Amino acid sequence: MESADRAGRRVAIAGMLTSAALALLKITVGLRAGSVAVISDGFESAGDVFASGLVFFGLLMAAKPPDKEHPYGHGRFEILTGLGVGALLTVAGSLICFRALQGLQEIRHIPRAFAVWALVLSIAVKSVLWLMKRSWGRRIRSAGLVADAQNDATDVLSATVALVALGLALLDPRLAAADHIGGAAVGVIISVLGIRVMHETALQLMDTMPGEEMMRQIREAALSVPGALGIEKCFARKTGLRYHVDLHLEVDPEMTVQQSHEIATQVRDRIRQRLDWVADVLVHVEPHMMETIGAGKSR
């Protein structure tokens, strides 16, 4: 996991530098071309710099080992950064939308055509960043990096909306208001994404269980150990990039404490060996009732 963490941080840094360059480009071009849609998209990219910075800091903190005050590690900080990215997007989108709609009351003018190429470049670059962050975010199970990838996906959509709005304003002077409306639409898209990101990360902070396929893999690994007769209960919660598992293991009630302890240790080690996304397993030993022998192994 350590090399994956470093790769995730490198991706976050690359996102920060790229977003900073795009923000400077789009705001400069938008001001010179007089395009509200391009300026709005530029400020959205400026917000991405801060969002990627949060993700980088979260990954840095999540990599810290457990200590006396944090026996489960510092992984939850990484989830909090995902929540912070969502809140940032929601606020930024609302402000962008408000400012763009205010512009409708001002004197309308036709933007200059050279603003188009800044949006086209942004769409191409952000598409690459989106795919790269999504791939690494899923690989290391980083809530913050996945949230940042969704942010880049929204950047592609918002830049496309801005491009369409700018194109309409350029094609027909009577549609000059489309540039302002496009800027407002960009803000709405960003806000909707922010709310979605906050919802998903809040579920992780509430210890929402992983999908059934992941739980099946945990049970399957546990029951592959000789002497493991069944699983009474199995829970998992995400603490950053990986999961902590609580498992109630059924063994032969005639076993000694030492024998059952050895099986429990093997189960813990087997799960961690097979599933690199599991940080630790707490195994509680239960007596296996003879009448449930046939059903125990199927659980």
Show the tokens assigned to 284.
């509680």
Tens-digit pLDDT profile for residues 29-56: 888 888 777 887 787 777 777 777 777 7
CATH class of domain segment(s) 2-205: mainly alpha
Q: Kindly report, residue by residue over 195-224, the tens digit of the pLDDT.
A: 887 887 787 777 778 888 889 999 999 999
pLDDT of residue 299: 44
Instruction: Look up residue 72 and give its two tokens.
Output: 């489960």
Give the span between the Cα atoms of 261 and 264, in whole angstroms. 5
Do the bridges between strand 243-251 and strand 230-238 make them parallel or antiparallel, or are there none, so unpaired?
antiparallel
* DSSP character string of 194-221: HHHHHHHHHHHHTT----HHHHHHHHHH
For residue 177, the Cα-to-chain-centroid distance in whole angstroms is 35
* pLDDT at 293 (0 to 100): 44
Distance CA(59)–CA(136), nearest Å, equals: 12
* Average pLDDT for the chain: 80
As a whole number of angstroms, the distance between CA 177 and CA 116 comes to 17
Residue-range domain boundaries for the chain: 2-205, 212-296
**DSSP code at position 112:** P
CATH number of 212-296: 3.30.70.1350
pLDDT > 90? residue 267: yes
**Residue 292 pLDDT:** 46
